[in-house]
């Protein structure tokens, strides 16, 4: 099964996605997600200019060797652009191997450890009352776990809140330059525990609750938040602190028993190694699209399992249905799967472009048995939606200091 051609598509069906399509000489094709939000075209150039010429004529069955060839062979290891490009290729090769074998990818990984996978939904709001109404709606739809994000009083905008726009999938449309948002740690820390206090008093203990700090705190500030949230028993607190310095989490860990999750920006097992070995985190949120594809995610899951760390793959709107399908296969297999972030399946444009193998029912995702990853990418539909430059926001303090967004 020799690689005959590699096509790279960048389209904007509601939002930008980079799709890798590898064709082989036996008439099959495999699909991979190589979307890096806000830096899409850098990955496209990496794939087209630097990877494609090296892979034409290679045996598509050699997934591990191709991964090593692209990783070690570049000399310049890691980094989001390189690894997102490798991830797209890796997923497409697993998709191809599954199609060639007539088996879904989870079978190639070792079979199913579970029949369905638990997800957490998102309840957001401009006030606590609105957030809790939305939480009630999700509970009504069968969700057993929900992440709560609420606008911080006194701040003009807050991460995870879309004033006037209710569709989380549209998070980044029409941002030709990075918008600027305000941040104030004191206002945030004074407010968030009240959100969770009211959530517990209204809905009780059964529903599992989560929250994303989006890396805005120092370790000791995060410790204060974790401690204040202890009475409300979160499933996990996400990205409390940035993890470039993995020792941040060792310090945070000593201050609170609120479970900790991190990893959505990780490119490599090396980003997680010390966090896992020191048992400083409870959930690893690496994504197949940004951490090296299925090959790397499988390795991370196995390593994490040694330390009782569970997987909770990043599932934002800026990962394409191909990346979400890769997670579904990994989640079906991983003995130490924890939970999957879930934002819905997107709007009409997305569903016309990507036909995916997932079904949501009562708080769980179900994966069908199509060979490979089970996604179809409808090129003629995709081509109706050209790429639109679009950025993530940046944050600033009241005095103008640039902060972590």
Chain contacts with ligand GCO (rule: CB under 6 A)? 37, 212, 214, 264, 314, 316, 318, 341, 392
CA nearest to 79, candidates 49, 43, 29, 119: 43
**Which is nearer to ligand GCO, 103 or 392 (by Cβ)?**
392
Q: Which residue is nearest to Mg ion (CB)?
A: 212
Q: How many CB atoms lie within 10 A of CB 81?
A: 18
CA-derived radius of gyration, the chain: 21
Q: Which does 316 bind (CB under 5 to 8 A by kind): ligand GCO, Mg ion, none?
A: ligand GCO
With CA atoms as reference, report the closest residue to 211 among 311, 228, 220. 228
Please, which residue, 259 or 316, has the CB nearer to ligand GCO? 316
Q: Which helix (H) or strand (E) holds 381?
A: helix 379-382
Give the residue among 34, 4, 7, 36 at the shortest CA–CA distance from 21. 7
The footprint of Mg ion on residues 204-243 (CB under 5 A) is 212
Q: Is 203 a catalytic residue?
A: no
Shortest Å distance, C-beta 84 to Mg ion = 17
Pull the structure tokens for residue 320.
Answer: 């394409």
Contacts (CB under 5 A) with Mg ion, residues 354-393: none
Q: Which is nearer to ligand GCO, 90 or 264 (CB)?
A: 264
What is the C-alpha to C-alpha distance for residues 15 and 351, in angstroms, rounded to an integer? 12
DSSP for 19-60 reads: EEEEEETTS-EEEEE---TT-HHHHHHIIIIIIHHHHTTSBT
Alpha helix segments (H runs only) across 306-368 = 321-333, 348-353
Cβ contacts of 190 within 8 Å, gap of 6 or more: none
Residue placing its CB nearer to ligand GCO in the complex, 93 or 235: 235
- Of the pair 23, 212, the CB lying nearest Mg ion is at 212
Q: Which does 392 bind (CB under 5 to 8 A by kind): Mg ion, ligand GCO, none?
A: ligand GCO
Which of the choices ligand GCO, Mg ion, none does residue 37 contact, using the CB cut-off of 5 to 8 A by kind?
ligand GCO
Min CB(324)–ligand GCO separation in Å: 12
Task: Give the dihedral sign, CA 26/27/33/34.
Answer: positive
Residue 124 phi, psi dihedral angles, 5° rounding: -120, 165
Whose CB is nearest to ligand GCO?
A: 316
Q: Is 159 a catalytic residue?
A: yes
Identify any residues that bridge with 182 across adjacent strands, giving them in sequence order: 396
Tell me which of 106, 159, 283, 385 is the catalytic residue: 159
State the number of CA atoms in the 13 A half-sphere of 244 facing the CB: 4
Helix (H, G, I), strand (E, B) or coil at 147: strand
Q: How many residues bind Mg ion (CB under 5 A)?
A: 1
d(CA 29, CA 20): 10
Please state the closest distance from residue 282 (CB atom) to Mg ion, in A: 15
Q: Tell me the closest approach of the beta carbon of residue 171 to Mg ion, in angstroms.
A: 12
> Of the listed 211, 214, 290, 356, which one is catalytic?
214
**Minimal distance in Å, beta carbon 316 to ligand GCO?**
3
Name which of 338 and 357 has its Cβ closer to Mg ion: 338
- Is 238 strand, coil or helix? strand
Instruction: List residues with catalytic annotation.
Output: 159, 214
Binding site for Mg ion (CB under 5 A): 212
């Amino acid at each position: 099964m020799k690689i005959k051609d590699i096509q790279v598509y960048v389209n904007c069906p509601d939002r930008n996605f980079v799709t890798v399509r590898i064709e082989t000489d036996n008439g099959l094709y495999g699909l991979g997600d190589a979307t890096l939000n806000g830096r899409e075209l850098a990955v496209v150039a990496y794939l087209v200019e630097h990877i494609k010429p090296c892979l034409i004529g290679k045996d598509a069955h050699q997934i591990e060797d191709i991964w090593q060839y692209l990783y070690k062979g570049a000399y310049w290891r890691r980094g989001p652009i390189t690894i997102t490009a490798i991830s797209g290729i890796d997923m497409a090769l697993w998709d191809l191997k599954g199609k060639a074998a007539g088996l879904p990818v989870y079978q190639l990984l070792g079979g199913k450890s579970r029949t369905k996978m638990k997800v957490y939904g998102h309840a957001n709001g401009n006030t606590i009352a609105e957030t809790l109404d939305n939480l009630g709606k999700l509970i009504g739809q069968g969700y057993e776990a929900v992440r709560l994000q609420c606008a911080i009083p006194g701040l003009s905008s807050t991460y995870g809140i879309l004033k006037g726009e209710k569709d989380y999938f549209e998070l980044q449309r029409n941002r030709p330059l990075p918008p600027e948002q305000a941040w104030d740690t004191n206002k945030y820390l004074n407010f968030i525990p009240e959100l969770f206090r009211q959530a517990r008093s209204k809905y009780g203990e059964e529903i599992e609750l989560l929250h994303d700090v989006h890396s805005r705190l120092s370790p000791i500030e995060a410790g204060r938040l974790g401690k204040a949230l202890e009475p409300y028993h979160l499933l996990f607190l996400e990205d409390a602190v940035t993890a470039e310095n993995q020792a941040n989490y060792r310090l945070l860990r000593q201050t609170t028993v609120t479970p900790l999750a991190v990893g959505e920006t990780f490119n490599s097992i090396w980003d997680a190694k010390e966090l896992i070995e020191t048992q400083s985190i409870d959930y690893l949120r690496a994504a197949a699209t940004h951490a090296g594809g299925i090959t790397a995610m499988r390795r991370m899951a196995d390593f994490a399992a040694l330390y009782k760390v569970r997987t909770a793959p990043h599932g934002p709107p800026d990962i394409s249905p191909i990346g979400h399908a890769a997670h579904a296969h990994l989640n079906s297999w991983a003995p130490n799967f924890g939970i999957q972030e879930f934002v819905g399946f997107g709007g009409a444009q997305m569903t016309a472009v990507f036909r995916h193998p997932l079904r949501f029912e009562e708080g769980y995702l179900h994966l069908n048995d199509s060979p490979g990853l089970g996604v179809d990418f409808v090129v003629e539909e995709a081509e109706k939606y050209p790429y639109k430059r679009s950025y993530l926001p940046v944050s600033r303090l009241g005095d103008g200091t640039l902060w972590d967004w």
